[in-house]
Structure 1
Amino acid sequence: MTAASLLLLGAPAVAATPPDPGVTGKVLWQRTVGGRDLVLREIHIPPGADNGWHYHDGPLYAWVKKGTLTHYDATCNPDGVYRAGRLLVERSGRDQVHIGRNLGKIEVVLKVLYVLPAGKPLSEDAPNPGCDFE
């Protein structure tokens, strides 16, 4: 995700895990209501790519439009496999570090609604928690 280049505040200098090349996102709609930024984006993840380790400062609701997204939590275990037509909900907070990977042969396309405290980035970059994906 494009905002994933921000480092954790107060975190020691560690290797950031930005999205793989080719992962793109486009804002389709954005409004601030009652101290919350509501942002609707479309995200494209090519085959074999991931969106980097990150977390969000508010909940995220994603609908898989195309492909299959494999979602991992900080324990390195998949916590969901989401095929086209499925909804994914991500909880917020630094303790909710995760990564989405496209292990398939076709592009993953997501429609994502972010519900964030006003002014916060779409995502906060996080270091790899020690997962070795090959």
Structure 2
Amino acid sequence: MRRSWLFALLAIVASFALVGTVLATHLPTNHNTTDLTTLVRGTIVDTFKYNVGDTKVQTKGPVDVVVADVSFPALASAGWHNHPGPVFVIVTSGRLSVWTASCVKHEYYQGGPEGAAFFEPGPESSLLVKNESATIAAQVKATFIVPPGTTALRTGTAHLCGIAE
């Protein structure tokens, strides 16, 4: 009788091991991965102030301008994050959902009612940016204005609105 319990226990353990192996090798490992590729980075050494019509841009010291490609595979997320400076983002393909710190969701895509471009204000505000499609990747071009030598992205900011990454 002890042997039959031992064989039953071994069969259960082997079944769990087999299921775990199948899941580990056949399911995607991490949907929360975006790929940021810096295309070019340059420093503006002098301060400047530009104010014409509805457009105002000003720096108070040197800044780096970083242009990057960011890929969002299906179901990928940049997580709750912010940046050390402002960012201008253009969705070139796919759709992105963006939650603001005030828990408002926006959708950006080519031809969409909210447009294909959005603005990330910088270190004072965290955003969640996600590709909610299970089948279609999204691609963006982003222009960051950041202090010289700093990274363009800060991850791991507080989760807001009860929305998971």
Q: Which amino acid aligns with 1:30?
A: R
TM-superposed CA distance for 1:122, in Å, is: 0.7
Once the two structures are superposed, what CA deviation does each residue of 1:17-72 show, in whole Å capped at 9, x if it has no partner?
A: xx813x11111111011211111100000111110111111110111110000000
Amino-acid identity (%): 23
Counterparts in 2 of 1:16-55, with a 5 A limit?
A: 20-21=32-33, 23-34=34-45, 35-55=62-82
Would the aligned equivalents of 2:89 and 2:142 in 1 still touch at CA under 8 Å? yes
Query: What is the match of residue 23 of structure 2?
Result: none
TM-score, normalised relative to structure 2: 0.62
Q: 62, 77, 85: which one pairs with 1:58?
A: 85
Query: What is the match of residue 81 of structure 1?
Result: 107
Task: Specify which structure has the bigger relative contact order, considering alpha-carbon pairs within 8 angstroms and separated by 6 or more residues.
Answer: 1
Structure 1 consecutive aligned stretches of length 4 or more whose deviation exceeds 4 Å: none
More helix by share: 2
Question: What's the secondary structure of 2:74's corresponding residue?
Answer: coil
TM-superposed CA distance for 1:103, in Å, is: 1.0
Q: How many residues align?
A: 113
Larger radius of gyration: 2
Counterparts in 2 of 1:75-114, with a 5 A limit?
A: 75-78=102-105, 80-84=106-110, 86-94=116-124, 96-104=125-133, 105-114=135-144
Once the two structures are superposed, what CA deviation does each residue of 1:77-120 show, in whole Å capped at 9, x if it has no partner?
A: 31x210036111111123x1001010123101000000111122
Q: Which amino acid aligns with 2:151?
A: P
RMSD: 1.9
Would the aligned equivalents of 2:89 and 2:143 in 1 still touch at CA under 8 Å? yes
Q: Which consecutive residues of structure 1, in runs of 5 or more, have no partner in the other structure?
A: 1-18
TM-score, normalised relative to structure 1: 0.76
Query: What is the match of residue 159 of structure 2?
Result: 128
More strand by share: 1
C-alpha distance in structure 2 between counterparts of 1:132 and 1:38, whole Å: 31
